[in-house]
Structure 1
Amino acid sequence: MKIVGVGCGPGMLTAEAVRVIAGASLIYGSARAIALARETIPPGCEVHEITDYRCLRLLPSHAVVLSTGDPMLAGLGYLPGEVVPGISSLQVVFARLKVPLTKAAVVSAHGTDHARAVAEAREGILAGRVVFLLADPAFSVGALAAVLPPETRIAVCEDLGYPEERIVVGTAAEPPMPRGGLFVVAAGEF
């Protein structure tokens, strides 16, 4: 099995990802991942939208599983098989904000304990890191801002790579707010 990162938005497939997808006869992915790779899927390839993520480990060895962003950043990289990296939201955000990746600390608040994620993010920021936080729609940017020094910069980043991409920068004293849906937060000194 191959787990292929399709990037976090349109036009972010790597040449290696294109090669693997173009040679596939069986593909599984979310609706979004399939849409991002659609132009490279060969005619006659059997394509299935993932409905049960628990069954992915049972796929045949020739299956290609599409993962949005990079499979190793809260993606499907835990599956057995070869991982083909993709362009992640982390790479895009840090490039847009002109922050070196060597300053990054990654925190996941996507479908996990938000209080723990806020504490982890605070710890990273106070240690001088720029925290990249993967959030779900229920995550409170205000709760994060409340535990940070007021001058801490916070960026809310949505729809990365899409025409409606939105990156709004504020501070912990006046934090930017997401529109809704999935988003990422970069916070720290940048």
Structure 2
Amino acid sequence: MKIVGVGCGPGMLTAEAASVIACATLVYGSARAIALARDAIPPGSEVYEIKDYRGLRSLPDHAVVLSTGDPMLAGLGYLPGDVVPGISSLQVAFARLKVPLARAAVVSAHGKDHARAIAEAREEVIRGKVVFLIADPAFDVGALAAALMAQTRVAVCEDLGYPAERIAVGTAAQPPAPRGDLFVVVAGEF
């Protein structure tokens, strides 16, 4: 099996990923991942939207599983098989904000305990890291901001790579609010 990162937005499919997908006869992915890779999927391939993520481990060896962004950043990289990296929301957000990736500390709050993620993010900011927080639609940016020092910079990065991309930067005292469901948060001194 191959787990292929399709990038976090349109036009972010790497040449390697496109090459692997172009040879696929059996493709699985979320609706969003399939849409991002649609032009690379060859005609006649069997394409299935993933309905049950628990069943992915039992796919045949020739299956190609599409993962939005990069499979190793809160993606499907845990599956058995070869991983083809993709352009992640971390790479795009830090590039847009001009923050070196070496300063990053990744914290996932996606489908996880938000209070615990906020505490972890706070500790990383105190250590001098710039936190890249993977949020879910229910994540409260205000609660994160309340846990940080007032002057700490906070950015909400939405729809990265899409035409409606929006990056709003504020401080913990006046944090930006997300407008939609597809967002990440960057916090720290940047």
Please classify the TM superposition score into its range, dividing by the shorter chain length: over 0.9
Other-structure match for 2:53: 53
Task: Identify the range of structure 1 (174-183 vs 100-109) with the bigger mean alpha-carbon deviation.
Answer: 174-183
Q: TM-score, normalization: structure 2? A: 0.99
Cα deviation, residue 131, structure 1? 0.1
Deviation at 1:182, TM superposition (A): 2.5
Query: Does the alignment pair 1:6 with 2:18?
Result: no
Distance (Å, rounded) in 2 between the aligned partners of 1:155 and 1:181: 15
Deviations 1:123-161 (A, max 9, x none): 000100000000001111110110111000000011000
Provide, for residues 48-86 of structure 1, a one-character-per-residue CA deviation record: whole Å limited to 9, x for no partner: 000000100010000000000000000000000000000
For residues 39 and 107 of structure 1, the distance between their equivalents in structure 2, rounded to whole angstroms, comes to: 32
Count of residues in Structure 1 that have an aligned counterpart in Structure 2: 190
RMSD: 0.5
Among all aligned residue pairs of Structure 1 and Structure 2, give the percentage whose two residues are the same amino acid. Answer: 81
Q: What is the Cα deviation at residue 98 of structure 1? A: 0.2
3-state SS in 2 of match to 1:177? coil
How do 1:25-64 and structure 2 match up within 5 A?
25-64=25-64
Aligned counterparts of 2:125 and 2:94: Cα–Cα separation in 1: 15
1:66 aligns to 2:62 (yes or no): no
Corresponding residue for residue 87 of structure 1: 87
Uncovered stretches (5+) of structure 2, i.e. residues with no partner: none
Question: Matches of 2:53 and 2:182 in 1, distance apart?
Answer: 19
TM-score by length of 1: 0.99
**Structure 1 stretches of 4+ moved >3 Å:** none
Cα-to-partner distance string for 1:71-126 (whole Å, 9 max, x where unaligned): 00000000000000000000000000000000000000000000000000000001
Alignment correspondent of 2:18: 18
Paired with 1:138 and 1:10, the residues of 2 have a C-alpha distance of 25
Q: What secondary structure is seen at the aligned counterpart in 1 of 2:7?
A: coil
1:114 matched residue in structure 2: 114
Distance 1:76 1:150 in 2: 36
Q: Distance in 1 between matches of 2:107 and 2:174?
A: 22
Which whole-Å CA distance do the structure 2 matches of 1:177 and 1:137 have between them? 12
Q: In the TM superposition, what is the alpha-carbon distance from 1:180 to its structure 2 partner?
A: 2.7
Q: 5+ unaligned residues in a row in structure 1: which ranges?
A: none
Q: Deviations over 1:22-56 (max 9, x none)?
A: 00000000000000000010011110000000100
User: Equivalent residue for 2:160?
Assistant: 160
Structure 2 counterpart of 1:183: 183
Please tell me the residue identity of whatever aligns with 1:49.
Answer: E
Residue 133 of structure 1 corresponds to 133
Q: Secondary structure at the match of 2:102?
A: helix
